[in-house]
Structure 1
Amino acid sequence: MPWDYSAKTTDLLERLNAFFDRYIYPNEARYHAEMDAFRRAGNAWQQPAVVEELKVIAREQGLWNMFLPHEYRGVPGISNLDYAPLCEVMGRVSWSSEVFNCSAPDTGNMETLERYGTPAQQDRWLGPLLDGKIRSAFLMTEPAVASSDATNIQCDIRRDGDHYVINGRKWFSSGAGSPHCAIYIVMGKTDVDAPRHAQQSMVLVPANTPGVKVERHISVFGYDDAPHGHMEISLTDVRVPVDNILLGEGRGFEIAQGRLGPGRIHHCMRSIGAAERALEMMIDRLQTRIAFGKPLADQSIWHERIAESRCMIDQARLLTLNAAHRMDTVGNKAAQAEIAMIKVVAPNVSCKVVDWAIQAHGGAGVSQDFWLAEAYAHQRTVRIVDGPDEVHRRAIAKLELAKRTAARAARGGQAG
């Protein structure tokens, strides 16, 4: 590799893996038992006690807020490259990132507030988020339009004196189900007559503002993802002070682009962590199950799948780390091709490896007795969130076409 992890990240990685071995893996069954008890009692939207207990330990061990790219009020920053392997570890257990205050969408929202928020906005919302006292949600996607094109957004944000009045409907608002969710970042249109990418704005909306209503939770392949959740939310004549706008009117698309770049690195490395764990589970199962007189691991088809899994995972990891390195050294805009490529590659690789692991487990693989069904549901979803595969492939193709057009122009229009 042309880059190495810093001494800081090497230390964090060692301590994070030790934390998982001692606290996360042994408590997976307890976490699901607590959530199942909540569901049987009729209210899944509660925080499992085990998560709160482990937060205290993680904070004591300095494994807290490891994601911030810049130093903020005494919280040291970390590069995208150095944070990436930590994300991979947290991707091995879906709920683990909250233990370290490093879960989405909070990380993206905190980065947004740190980068674009006013001091007053940071005091009110960023401080409590960094302290783990509250959680947040990001309201961008809408049910009535193709939200893969963010310029389609219809949520209306109109100025009325010293307030903005918001009307619209959002869905797949991840994190809004948490009992500690206190603040939404809402994207909508403030000027439909402005240029296409200057119509959108982002405003801060406290979750308890009159006119905000959580209509329902949306399951994903049958999973409710409680207590985090993916909620459909209506906003009816919601009034917030004009001071709640982020950066200024017409800057919403700009903020979204700045927010999503690092988030895609995080998603991709968590996907790689899930794929790595699925491969381990696949191999363990193949070596301990006998079919047709010999271990499944001796069947040639599984040799192919194990080898292909290793190749794909390592390729995806290197591609993602390269994107992180590019973001750190030349910036998000110059690294847009690398970011788009990893967002296509990593979740597709993870889907394939998890699928093979499910196949290796047979009927057990699609049951609730193993983590794999949940992992597949999540990894398949990642192919859509933060831009579907098709959008990123389109971006990659446009960049490649422009590259060749420029190369031909430099040679006087000759091909070859």
Structure 2
Amino acid sequence: MASTERTTSGHPHGAAATQHLRAQVEGFVRNRVVPRERVLDAGGPEAGGALSELRRLARSEGLWALALPAELGGGGLTLAAYAEIAEAEGASDHGPTALGSAPLLDVRMLARHGGPRVRELYLERLVAGEIRSCYAMTEPDVPGTDPFLTVTQAEQRPDGNWSITGRKWFTSGAADADLVTVLARTDGTAGDRDGLSLLLVPTASPGFRVGRELPLFGAGGQWEIELDRVTVPGDHMIGERGQALAVAGERLQLGRTLRSLRWLGQAQRAFDLMCERAVVRTGSRGPLAGHQLVQQHVFDALLALRTTRPLVHEAVALLDAGRDAHTEVGLAKVAAARTLQQVTDAAIQIHGAAGLGPDTALPALFRTGRAARILDGPDELHITSVARRILRTYERNPVTPR
């Protein structure tokens, strides 16, 4: 029998224990989160009440903040252990928020790169779900793939505090956030490769304003924010001055990998819906499952899932070991985004008109799949980045005589 070790939070480690925890999370998302998706999607007071109830249930069932540090009140799972659960958790867009793992990136970033006061003020409250955070990097009219062109400015005052002015957009969860990490230029001019810093901004600060919502194919949750000479304490800089991109790069690698795991969970959900439809739906020539073209869709979708999953977990293993994973993360991100779009498209095709309407999750899953090919860097960015990295290795180490 495989041995297990317990974290300080009481969650055991080990393959069998992780699979048991995954089954619990799958059941929670399927039976508690999915039935409330329409309410949560709509937003407003009713959604807030539903989310609070889900969080209470997650705590009572021992499923709260599984991937967050145990010393801060989380479950204390390693990245490798959490990866086995993140797919199940991410089958619904609302799963990570309901189960308390949504602030994982911010908690890790602040724990590693925040100063003592930042850690003292915010970390435990973030893990407990008492406050929410978001991350603002991209700007209108500035290519998201070229952060060196960032125009948001932060000037340091004589008292050591910072004054930030600028606009950001497609900031997830900004409307409900208490904190936002802002990428701003503290030195140099737009286009310089140095001089960008990260500052943690309390959203209650004078001059901070949440602007218009930016729906993605009709779905909310993304916002434009404006900062008009917002004062930020000097000790709220995250990382070293001018070194934002090193911190952001570390965050992006993990963020892209977590998204890929969650996209796999949504692709699996679409696959299950497709297969159930094929078996249950009967026409004049029998069940859809007996049609060869339907079987082709099932095969291709399964192939996409089975070939993508190892890529994503390879990226997880490298990140968990502290090794370079740029190539593996790029491959995983592109593959997971494509798989979600492909599998959901096939599921919609097999559902027919029912797949286009409000009675299944398929339109929302397809929307996520299409957006996934742009979010966290478009496919083209990752394709060229990975290809260049691979080709450079051949330039340095040719494998055949010239």
Q: Secondary structure at the match of 1:28?
A: helix
Q: Secondary structure at the match of 1:48?
A: helix
Give the Cα separation in 1 of the matches to 2:191 and 2:211. 33
Is 1:405 the counterpart of 2:399? The answer is no
**Corresponding residue number in structure 1 for 2:250:** 258
Q: CA deviation at 1:215?
A: 1.0
Q: CA deviation at 1:29?
A: 3.1
Against the structure 1 CA distance between its residues 252 and 294, is the aligned structure 2 distance closer, same or farther, given a 3 Å change threshold?
A: same
Is 1:388 the counterpart of 2:378? The answer is yes
- Given the two structures, how large is their TM-score scaled by the length of structure 2? 0.91
Is 1:158 the counterpart of 2:181? The answer is no
Q: Secondary structure at the match of 1:216?
A: strand
Give the Cα separation in 2 of the matches to 1:150 and 1:77. 33
Against the structure 1 CA distance between its residues 221 and 34, is the aligned structure 2 distance closer, same or farther, given a 3 Å change threshold?
A: closer
Against the structure 1 CA distance between its residues 407 and 292, is the aligned structure 2 distance closer, same or farther, given a 3 Å change threshold?
A: farther
Whichever residue aligns with residue 122 of structure 1, its letter is: R
Is 1:238 the counterpart of 2:244? The answer is no
Q: Considering only aligned residues, what root-mean-square deviation do their CA atoms show, in Å?
A: 2.4
**71-80 vs 164-173, which moves further:** 71-80
Against the structure 1 CA distance between its residues 235 and 406, is the aligned structure 2 distance closer, same or farther, given a 3 Å change threshold?
A: same
**Corresponding residue number in structure 1 for 2:63:** 63
Aligned counterpart for 1:208 among listed residues 188, 204, 207: 204
- Given the two structures, how large is their TM-score scaled by the length of structure 1? 0.88
Identical positions, percent: 28
**94-103 vs 51-60, which moves further:** 51-60
Aligned counterpart for 1:248 among listed residues 240, 250, 253: 240
The equivalences for 1:336-415 within 5 A come to 336-408=326-398, 414-415=401-402
Whichever residue aligns with residue 348 of structure 1, its letter is: R
Q: CA deviation at 1:120?
A: 1.0
The equivalences for 1:5-404 within 5 A come to 7-8=13-14, 10-21=16-27, 24-33=30-39, 36=42, 44=44, 47-68=47-68, 72-73=71-72, 75=74, 77-103=76-102, 106-161=103-158, 162-178=160-176, 181-192=177-188, 196-224=192-220, 229-331=221-323, 334-404=324-394
Kept in 2, the 8 Å contact 1:23–1:54? The answer is no
Higher relative contact order (CA 8 A, sep 6+): 1
Q: CA deviation at 1:117?
A: 0.9
Q: CA deviation at 1:71?
A: 5.9
Q: Secondary structure at the match of 2:232?
A: strand
Per-residue Cα deviation, 1:91-127 (whole angstroms, up to 9, x for no partner): 2112111121112xx2211111111111210111112
Give the Cα separation in 1 of the matches to 2:107 and 2:15. 21
Give the Cα separation in 2 of the matches to 1:138 and 1:112. 11
Give the Cα separation in 2 of the matches to 1:141 and 1:195. 14
Q: CA deviation at 1:33?
A: 3.9
- Pairs aligned (count): 392
**Corresponding residue number in structure 1 for 2:8:** none
Kept in 1, the 8 Å contact 2:117–2:235? The answer is no
Q: Secondary structure at the match of 2:198?
A: strand
Per-residue Cα deviation, 1:10-50 (whole angstroms, up to 9, x for no partner): 424423423542564355334424655x6xxxxx3764323
Per-residue Cα deviation, 1:283-336 (whole angstroms, up to 9, x for no partner): 1111122234221111111111111111110111111111111222252xx211
Give the Cα separation in 1 of the matches to 2:104 and 2:262. 14
Kept in 1, the 8 Å contact 2:136–2:182? The answer is yes
Per-residue Cα deviation, 1:336-368 (whole angstroms, up to 9, x for no partner): 111111011111011000011011111111111
**Corresponding residue number in structure 2 for 1:41:** none
Whichever residue aligns with residue 386 of structure 2, its letter is: I
Give the Cα separation in 2 of the matches to 1:220 and 1:249. 34
Give the Cα separation in 2 of the matches to 1:296 and 1:114. 52
Against the structure 1 CA distance between its residues 148 and 45, is the aligned structure 2 distance closer, same or farther, given a 3 Å change threshold?
A: farther
Against the structure 1 CA distance between its residues 59 and 13, is the aligned structure 2 distance closer, same or farther, given a 3 Å change threshold?
A: farther
Kept in 2, the 8 Å contact 1:16–1:63? The answer is no
Against the structure 1 CA distance between its residues 236 and 34, is the aligned structure 2 distance closer, same or farther, given a 3 Å change threshold?
A: closer
Q: Secondary structure at the match of 2:175?
A: coil
Q: CA deviation at 1:242?
A: 1.3
Give the Cα separation in 2 of the matches to 1:259 and 1:183. 17
Against the structure 1 CA distance between its residues 35 and 194, is the aligned structure 2 distance closer, same or farther, given a 3 Å change threshold?
A: closer
**196-205 vs 395-404, which moves further:** 196-205
**288-297 vs 184-193, which moves further:** 288-297
Q: Secondary structure at the match of 1:198?
A: coil
Give the Cα separation in 2 of the matches to 1:72 and 1:198. 35
Give the Cα separation in 2 of the matches to 1:116 and 1:312. 37
